Chain A
Amino acid sequence: MADEVVLLDFWPSPFGMRVRIALAEKGIDYEGREEDLSNKSPLLLKMNPVNKQIPVLIHKGRPISESLIIVQYIDEAWSNNKSPLLPSDPYQRANARFWADYIDKKIYSTGRLVWGTTGEVQEKAKEELRESFRVLEKELAEKTYFGGDMFGLVDVALIPFYSWFYTLETTANFSITEEFPRLVSWAKRCMQRDSVSNSVPDQYKIYDFLLDLKKKMHSIE
């Protein structure tokens, strides 16, 4: 059964983490293949010719790309499973998709600028990121998860970025824990789920990786 599902992945990728979490939540056996992004495999280039990016899920030989699209595919293709990732009510589903999309638009590119730059550019990005965290905390409110009682799409979309928190705090000199305690509580709650803790690498390991990446980025300029 495991050879039916293959995931082309890269261990520090937050987008790869989302798919790992979704597969684990559903208890789906799969073969994970680590890509070397400086030397992309022929399989990756064949399966995602348009964007040439991971993650790519290959199910029965057919590829699905883009992490949130993959997560929804997993939810739909294994729908007789007891762990739905989206609610059944259309309005609540629309709400989940809206917030997953918000996270996609706001967290990755801004976060990259926070850990990847300095000076004015970093300060501006830090303010933008703070604003996004404020908005997300407001949306979370007193709920257990973004979807309410159910761990779902929005939680899956956001939790991988928890692995960036130490890096963000250290490079930009602020405390996410102090400023956004509810968000951090939510993150720790998610990390208690096996699916998440097995899919999201340790913050310090990610710190080393991102700092290394930052050095490489700056040496290119």
Chain B
Amino acid sequence: MNLDGETNLKLKRSLEATNHLRDEESFQKFTAVIKCEDPNERLYSFVGTLQYEGKQYPLSPQQILLRDSKLKNTDYVYGVVVFTGHDTKVMQNATDPPSKRSKIERKMDKIVYLLFSTLILISSTGSVFFGIETKRDIDGGKIRRWYLQPDDATVFYDPRRAPLAAFLHFLTGLMLYGYLIPISLYISIEIVKVLQSVFINHDRDMYYEDTDKPARARTSNLNEELGQVDTILSDKTGTLTCNSMEFVKCSVAGVAYGRVMTEVERTLAKRKGERTFEVDDSQTDAPGLNGNIVESGKSVKGFNFRDERIMNGQWVNEPHSDVIQKFFRVLAICHTAIPDVNEETGEISYEAESPDEAAFVIAAREVGFQFFGSSQTSISLHELDPVSGQKVNRVYELLHVLEFTSSRKRMSVMVRNPENQLLLLCKGADSVMFERLSKHGQQFEAETRRHINRYAEAGLRTLVIAYRELGEDEYRIWEKEFLKAKTSVTSDREALVASAAEKIERDLILLGATAVEDKLQKGVPECIDKLAQAGIKVWVLTGDKMETAINIGYACSLLRQEMKQIVITLDSPDMEALEKQGDKENIMKVSLESVTKQIREGISQVNSAKESKVTFGLVIDGKSLDFALDKKLEKMFLDLAIDCASVICCRSSPKQKALVTRLVKGTGKTTLAIGDGANDVGMLQEADIGVGISGVEGMQAVMSSDYAIAQFRFLERLLLVHGHWCYRRISMMICYFFYKNLTFGFTLFWYEAYASFSGRPAYNDWYMSCYNVFFTSLPVIALGVFDQDVSARLCLKYPLLYQEGVQNILFSWPRILGWMSNGVLSAIIIFFFTTNSIFNQAFRKDGHAVDYEVLGVAMYSSVVWAVNCQMALSINYFTWIQHFFIWGSIALWYIFLVVYGSLPPTFSTTAYKVLVEACAPSILYWLTTLLVVVSTLLPYFLYRAFQTRFRPMYHDLIQRQRLEGSETEISSQTEVSSELPAQVEIKMQHLKANLRQRNQ
């Protein structure tokens, strides 16, 4: 069942009371009543009872198969359907797939409304004037403009029905000035976005060779949104980590074993320079030696332990070989994993509840304690007998399993070994284990603590291993109590069980400690570091326990040493006490109060530190999150979370993930959710952008995502490069589009003013139809597809550039209105300069006077030149494609004129030979075009000149920097460019912090 994002197997058991029902016939007389909770979305809990043969049996999640579960290692199951359809937990966790539109597009709608109002405004202005003019044509029986024959006019021009004529003219006006609303913009944007997606799909730097998976843009309408992400909500397992644990080191009987260096250790060693980093007490780690050993053994997944003192049965010769034997026995027995024997090769693999458990069992197997079979009541091992040196089969009778919970932080098993000894084998976190050691069991405590600290420093997860021998009497007394607790039907059963377990898990004898590495995906810390530099907040929403989540937070530089942690949790002793009392309403009330108090404290902490440079990291667990997401607390929680540099939510259900996403989205900030499992689907759909990791966990996340990438680290390029580019491209493209259409539309309007608003367009119909199709569209598309303000390399080098998108600088209202007024201004310049230059005088040597056709061509040429040159001015990235499109569009206009003008006059009407015969030989025409185009571009150029010099934007600075090619970095980079890579520094600091915490 992969709803919680974990790939490992979950152990499901039927109730023992129903174990005798083994075939269909036995069900014939089976009657039972199941009482259970209402449908809900909580995956980790189930409250219910089975009433069977007059007895009540509690039902726990262990007995429940959730919908979408896959059955493994079991041939068949008899069961009862408890909930169906929308009542299932999966469906309760599902959210409706939303249709997503980018912010820019939504803003564009507003601009279109604005333009539509403008359109109506100028149309009605025109209509009013037209109505007045038309009405005056018959003035008290006298005909004014006789050449129009107003007395014999159709309804469109009838002075006697002037208001109606004016209204009809209004409709004409809507058609005529329709160029203000660029229908072609929508088409162009679609084309551009599809091409942008193609580029994303083809990016080599986002192609993952190991799995042969390129990045995939599954939707094209969110490309520009990628450049505006403010908060990333990330899943942990499979997204940040590879979801595989490796057994790396162990400390047994006060001696540290394991020579492999972790990545963190390596960076540490590098930092220390010549001084070699000592791995253990006796020997320095020589790479050569290390290498030899690595080569000798085959590499095993989950096992990265190299030490010749332990491996290949050598442990027998160690001073404390009996402790070592016990140590690995605990590893081999104390777990809930299931062996999976490959019939052909005899190899054994394990399916475990958590990957670290699998790592332990594998480690035990590699050392010589092969766990090969388990049943409800026994565990079988192949063991090396230190005396005879033979492999022997040993069967341990499994008595009880005291399971791991996040509050207990340990698990134990009780077994009876073949020598009929009762043993309690226990493993758990150091914080709870050391206090449970018996007096004589503390022999190696000091060394072990030292080793654990060292392991923690190396970024490893540690567990303490201990055991205890039990007396038969003690066991019997305890078992009674334990069983009573276990079969109690009250909802505080868990608490009862825990307290029972507590009684037996004491006086332990320390054996040693293990260190497991939770492997981060490649490049994750660097990527998160870059994203943080770009000002993007990263929230981790994970189903993991709090300790794991915090650990990973440090490992991937989300949490840093200089950060202050605010932890909101309900796992406090007070709460546990309350839960024991079992008053549900009281628990709710107190929990709410407690969460409120903690949040309030957090806020005051943040507020008091506002002046100083302290940043905060917020950690909250699932239970508290439930309360924090309550309507009343929502806002307070959000306020706190937004002030924190990073937020980690642990133990969160898919629904909670989606709710948190919605909460963040509610602030108007762009959210990006990234995840790989089915449990992330809700989050991916809820976020503005959902990014799926096409990893090992199947396709469900990918199918509901908007973008799919193979590795978390590709997110950096997807956002900082593609996101930034697409944002810039689309916003520039839209601005430019409005500019060019306003320029064109308003020349028509000014001309109307000189044609008594009669609705005569200034240009031939075909010129107008081709404007958006041929003469101006291709350069815009080239802008939208190819433009780059700075190269990909510089985008990554100066991540702060990304803020241009987050703060929406390129698509702010001042900028949009600026472009629009530039369009109107351009129209004014074009119209008045052209009409005044080519007034009514002869415009060529042979004395021909200007007419409608010539003026139209002259104006239109200026418009085509002006908008295309404007394009050339506003981009600063020219490949041959840009050159071809921009200059080609202008050339196309002249080619069009020649071709269209050579068609028969009945078709070409006013364009007949207008360029060849009339305009081209006229010097005045060309001089006018030059003057008008330059004057039109002058205001924008002037603005750009002063703006780049005196109010430069970030990309202007970077461009300038690149041009100068200077080695000095832009100041924001300086603190990063110290001699150490930032993430190493950060990691070092976090490890120190981690250490300090443990020592407290």
Do they bind each other? no
Interface residues of A (CB under 8 A from B): none
